[in-house]
Amino acid sequence: AQKITQTQPGMFVQEKEAVTLDCTYDTSDPSYGLFWYKQPSSGEMIFLIYQGSYDQQNATEGRYSLNFQKARKSANLVISASQLGDSAMYFCAMREDTGRRALTFGSGTRLQVQP
Amino acid sequence: AAGVIQSPRHLIKEKRETATLKCYPIPRHDTVYWYQQGPGQDPQFLISFYEKMQSDKGSIPDRFSAQQFSDYHSELNMSSLELGDSALYFCASSHGLYVDTQYFGPGTRLTVL
């Protein structure tokens, strides 16, 4: 079964606008972490933001915030004030804290910021 | 801040050849993960090490092996290369096995001809 689902293969947003990238997950582990990574066309994988399953507040890192809805098992990434440099592939990933420690990734969303 | 270092950044090999990829984690990081990302795909976990011991194994082919050395750097050895091994190989490091974020290196792009 797919553990991480990203239903938006591609998204467009105008420069300076906000955009939400969707991510839903599936786990029976009570303790887990959710991550978002950015992969520009150059290929590197850049860590953006982390949310722990027991965190009471949504994580924020500069222009990035994570809209964590535990009951709905969703962890959407919100990028405010989009910039041209935000154009990239964005991956949602999960780490379950029992058993395997490695990350399981979604299929990614390609974001294009238009001037 | 220091990041994860991977070498080489690009590698071209023929079928049936061998390849060795190297990963130098962020200083004081004791855990290393290897991922394989095929063209247009998401990264897939191969293998991980914590304190120089293998901690977990994913979808790593038997033709591949890896180890973590006393200075915490890791090497991924790939033998009998196949066309399907062409991919971007990432190493990620973290501090500890249970808590910390994994930080990725720039990747090694392997092309098998």
pLDDT at B98: 64
Using an 8 Å Cβ cutoff, are A88 and A38 in contact? yes
Sign of CA dihedral A93, A95, B81, B25: positive
**A47 to B88: CB separation less than 8 angstroms, yes or no:** no
**CA B16, CA A28: separation in Å to the nearest integer?**
42
Contact status of A55 with chain B (Cβ, < 8 Å): no
Contact status of A25 with chain B (Cβ, < 8 Å): no
Using an 8 Å Cβ cutoff, are A67 and A43 in contact? no
Q: Which residues of A touch B41 (CB under 8 A)?
A: 107
Quote the percentage of chain A above a pLDDT of 90: 89
Q: What is the tens place of the pLDDT at every residue in A35-89?
A: 999 999 999 999 999 999 999 899 999 999 999 999 999 999 999 999 999 999 9
pLDDT at B99: 64
Confidence check: pLDDT of A11 > 90:
yes
pLDDT at A10: 96
Contact status of B5 with chain A (Cβ, < 8 Å): no
**B104 to A46: CB separation less than 8 angstroms, yes or no:** yes
Mean pLDDT of A87-114: 93
**CA A67, CA A23: separation in Å to the nearest integer?**
10
What is the least distance, in Å, from the CA of B42 to any CA of chain A? 5
Where is average pLDDT lowest: B14-18, B26-30, B74-78? B26-30
Task: Indicate the pLDDT class of residue A34, thresholds 50, 70 and 90.
Answer: very high
**CA A35, CA A19: separation in Å to the nearest integer?**
17
pLDDT at A98: 79
Q: Which residues of B touch A45 (CB under 8 A)?
A: 43, 90, 92, 104, 107
Q: What is the tens place of the pLDDT at every residue in B42-85?
A: 999 999 999 999 999 999 999 999 999 999 999 999 999 999 99
Share the mean pLDDT of chain A.
Answer: 94
Mean pLDDT of A103-115: 97
pLDDT at A101: 80
Using an 8 Å Cβ cutoff, are B10 and B65 in contact? no
**CA A111, CA A8: separation in Å to the nearest integer?**
9
Confidence check: pLDDT of B102 > 90:
yes
Using an 8 Å Cβ cutoff, are A31 and A54 in contact? yes
Confidence check: pLDDT of B100 > 90:
no
